[in-house]
Amino acid sequence: MVEPACGSGAFISVIAERLAAEVLLRGLSWQAISCALRACDISETAVTASRREVCQVLQAADCGKKYAESLAEQWIRQEDFISASLPKADFVVGNPPYVRASALNSSMRDAYASFLPSVTRGCDLYISFYDQGLNLLRPEGVLCFICADRWMQNGYGKLLRGRISDAFCLESVIRLQGSAMFESAVSAYPAITVSDLLPTFFKVGSRSLTLLIFSALLLSVRAC
């Protein structure tokens, strides 16, 4: 699993809790989950805060202090999600930063636009997070972001809309406008979107519908 911008650790502390529960339930070694998570943040303060959170969670699950610290260091790195070299993932989950194009460093904006397919010089930074997150998905991988939903209708979202409709399956969109989802007020039309990497052949509205149709086809072929 990859968390692209972990901030103070709201998501990864829950992820760590679930991984620790799995270790205890299955009698695994802590080593067994050492490659299960990778989280990034460019801010040193955020990385320190997240590592602290994760250490506390692991220690509460009886992981020794040294091992908890080493897992937290391995999992959480101070790096730019867009340019870091990251492993492919089954899940990319997070809350990317929203930064208007006009507030982005222009050389960084040019660099991202040069290698990401949906990014133009006028895009908000979160478009780069979608692009890079989708790049990292393994076959059948799932990306779930809580993020501004403006890309679904505005000009700078056109390439991302095209990319998702060509090569992915948008499973769910939950619009959160008007709900107090964040600790501080957010005026950016937040929504949760879930996208799967599916072969175009299977690209139908939902995975269960796809499987249903596929199973029906198989049954009818067997019956012939």
The answer to whether 41 and 6 are in contact (CB under 8 A) is yes
The Cα–Cα gap between 173 and 193 comes to 5
40 makes contact with ligand SAM (CB under 6 A): yes
Q: Which of 1, 11, 127, 157 binds ligand SAM (CB under 6 A)?
A: 11
* DSSP secondary structure, 93-111, as one string: EE------GGGS-HHHHHH
> What is the nearest approach in angstroms of ligand SAM to the Cβ of residue 43?
4
Round to the nearest angstrom and report the end-to-end CA distance of the chain.
42
Q: Using alpha carbons only, what angle is made at residue 167 by residues 203 and 173, rounded to the nearest 5 degrees?
A: 70
Q: How far is the CB of 111 from ligand SAM (least distance, A)?
A: 11
For residues 119 and 131, give the distance between their C-alpha atoms in angstroms, rounded to a whole number.
8
d(CA 152, CA 161): 7
Q: Which is nearer to ligand SAM, 3 or 196 (CB)?
A: 3
Count of residues touching ligand SAM (by CB under 6 A): 17
Q: Could you say which residues in the range 91-110 bind ligand SAM, by CB under 6 A?
A: 95, 97
Counting contacts by CB under 6 A, is residue 80 touching ligand SAM?
A: yes
Q: Rule CB under 6 A: say whether 5 interacts with ligand SAM.
A: yes
To ligand SAM, the closest distance from the beta carbon of 47 in angstroms equals 9
Cα-to-chain-centroid distance, residue 7 = 13
Q: Which of 1, 19, 46, 72 binds ligand SAM (CB under 6 A)?
A: 46
- Closest distance to ligand SAM from the beta carbon of 3 (Å): 8
* DSSP single-letter state for residue 180: -
Nearest approach, Cβ of residue 132 and ligand SAM (Å): 9
Q: Binding of ligand SAM at residue 41 (CB under 6 A)?
A: yes
